[in-house]
Structure 1
Amino acid sequence: MSAQAYKILVVGPSWVGDMVMAQSLFIALKQQHPACLIDVLAPAWSLPLLERMPEVRRGIAMPLGHGQFDLPGRFKIGKQLKAQHYDQAIVLPNSWKSALIPFFAGIPKRTGYLGELRWGLLNDARRLDKSRLTMTVQRFVALGLPSDTKQPPLYQFPKLSINAEQQQQVREKFHINSDSKILALCPGAEYGPAKRWPAEHYAAVARQKQQQGWQVWLFGSDKDKAVADQINQLSGGICRNFAGATTLAEAVDLLSLSAAVVSNDSGLMHVAAALDKKLIAVYGSSDPGFTPPLHQAAEIISLNLACSPCFKRDCPLGHTHCLTDIAPERVLAALAASNT
């Protein structure tokens, strides 16, 4: 009789981009323990992403909302998970409450960064050296390796798995028949306006690519519908606007049909990179060195102004020159150079 597989529970992050980057951790865990079983406790919205990560056995929907403490609820979830007999938990968020469920589940090895003084809740608590682990993906992957591993660790890029059946389903649902090349535009950014390239710039790119025979599709959540509608209006209604009209799973599968993607620093940017798409990533207030798109061919456009990255939701100087001064012609040139 074979030995029982090593079972790992990962407490996942709460943002799309972070969840995509967490796949690099899952890959590293499979390299460490080839036969391990990885379950991920994460917000329900993230389950379609996890289903497209072959390293993950299953996603477990976290019923408590982001920021919700609910100690009795966490105790109940922990007791339910105790029956799974996990060997290790890896807690990616740094909050005190995020470490409670693995503790209540009695998981013998509980790994994470010390964060909010989580001694006891974590018995494999690591101190985060931000000077060595300068990237989010490095910080995630390091937790899957022994504590004495040389830092920063090597990591593999995320790679979402999309099959032909999933692509065909979205083709049929959204009546997609044309075989012309598709440019996907992702103009949203959950964090705030200081990460959003102007709508008129996106519209200029859309018009130029449509004149070259491309289809132009717009993606985003309900919160991005207004800016997507504005881009479509400014471009003369030439775009197919999927913002707010798809589930996350459908957006991922539709993005897999595209030939190239232009995106702000956002969750969909990381999705596009993990789908192995030619990607032009536009950065304003955020740092491309901290959360870059994880793809060898991704092109990052950033002006590197003295005032950026400021990491603010709104430009503290009131002009957002770090984004408005990135001309559409620069993005179009990057697309042309990609030979897509």
Structure 2
Amino acid sequence: MDPILVVSFPAVGDFVRSHSAIQLIAQRCPNRPIDVVTSSVAAPLASLMPGVRKGWGLDKRPRRLGFMDRYRLAQQLRPENYRTAYLLTSATKAALAPWMAGIPERIGYPREFQFGLVNRFPADWLRQMLTLGRQHLRFYEEICEIATLASEPAPLEGWPAPQLVIPPGQMADWRQRNNVDVSKPVLTFYTSGLDDRRTWPIERFISIGRDYSLRGWSIWIAGASREHSAAAAIKAALPQAFDFTIKSRITDAMCQIAASTLFLGVDGGLAHAAAALNVPSAIIFRPNWAFKDGPINRGVQLLEAPIATPSAIHGTRGVSEEQARDALTRLIAEKGLPPGG
């Protein structure tokens, strides 16, 4: 059957969340292979997404169209004989490669007036234009309406949650290469960078990690180069913690998170991956961000500052250590896990 191309988002978290729409497309077109376009960083995750055949990597260039990069991608796409492209992002430049590749049906919202580049619209496209292209309150509803052409109301139980599945052989190989001790439960931290507005105070991670370590848990730190400094600060206070930020392959990061018992982190790509990997997770958000951008997966505790928190307190500092501890305790009780801090 004719394959389908889904043009997704470059950021890891947004790409993971786009799997909700990909699942809907797969349900509507069960006999057509689905490939995706994302960044080269996120593209390896395509192999972990049920219903996806392969991923194409295209790196974004801030404030630049990247025309030649998109032209080269189009030349690679053309022999694949895609007949339909779903443009989950409404940016004009995202539509260029499918158009240059000659894909006849290009589905999306023409928010940047890219009529012609996009030639089939969801049923509510005019309303979207008249409201200046405002997104729905929740990200995943937006992309799911593109996937369904807004032809059906959202089910009461919600659209499908994103999934990432690691093959057992790949997981076993990762455990062997990293000499993982499977006898202890694991609490994984994801901090983001120290200068990131999403970062939670490092001393709170350290305090929780110290208590869980005393109770027999292993403490792991997930991330890449951006998280090196935060990981170093945690490891300086908790020498027994394992720093995985020095290993930059994203598929290894997925294995590390999947091998965890619990996940505590801030809003970001690896937090969305933890939710999609079905790891019990407590995720910390800035005020008013959890509902709009939080994972929809079950087994996730979304943490925000209480509504009475003074507006002068920015970022995630309004989420107390007690809130995080209580969320982890609830996850432990729900999953019947060994007690922690």
**1:177, distance to aligned residue in structure 2 (A):** 2.8
Separation in 1 of the partners of 2:79 and 2:286?
A: 46
Question: What is the 5 A alignment of 1:58-97?
Answer: 58-62=54-58, 65=61, 67-97=63-93
Question: What is the 5 A alignment of 1:160-199?
Answer: 160-188=164-192, 193-199=196-202
From 257, 260, 263, give the equivalent of 1:258: 260
From 282, 285, 292, give the equivalent of 1:283: 285
**1:67, distance to aligned residue in structure 2 (A):** 4.9
Question: What is the 5 A alignment of 1:321-336?
Answer: 323-336=316-329
Which is further off, 324-333 or 122-131?
A: 122-131
Separation in 2 of the partners of 1:209 and 1:158?
A: 29
Question: What is the 5 A alignment of 1:187-226?
Answer: 187-188=191-192, 193-226=196-229
Question: What is the 5 A alignment of 1:1-340?
Answer: 5-62=1-58, 65=61, 67-126=63-122, 127=125, 128=128, 133-150=136-153, 154-188=158-192, 193-234=196-237, 236-285=238-287, 287-305=289-307, 317=312, 319-320=313-314, 323-338=316-331, 339=333, 340=337
Change (3 A) 1:37 1:131: same
Change (3 A) 1:325 1:61: closer
TM-score between both structures, scaled by the size of structure 1:
0.88
**1:216, distance to aligned residue in structure 2 (A):** 0.6
Give a deviation string over 1:243-266, Cα, whole Å, max 9, x none: 132311001011111111001011
Which is further off, 70-79 or 89-98?
A: 70-79
Amino acid corresponding to residue 140 of structure 2 in structure 1: V
Aligned length: 325
Give a deviation string over 1:88-146, Cα, whole Å, max 9, x none: 11112222111111111111110112222211110014534777832111111111113
- Give the 3-state SS of the residue equivalent to 1:113 in structure 2: coil
- Unaligned runs of 5+ residues in structure 1 are 311-316
- Unaligned runs of 5+ residues in structure 2 are none
**1:305, distance to aligned residue in structure 2 (A):** 4.1
**1:241, distance to aligned residue in structure 2 (A):** 0.8
Separation in 1 of the partners of 2:72 and 2:261?
A: 46
TM-score between both structures, scaled by the size of structure 2:
0.88
**1:34, distance to aligned residue in structure 2 (A):** 1.0
Q: Percent identity?
A: 23
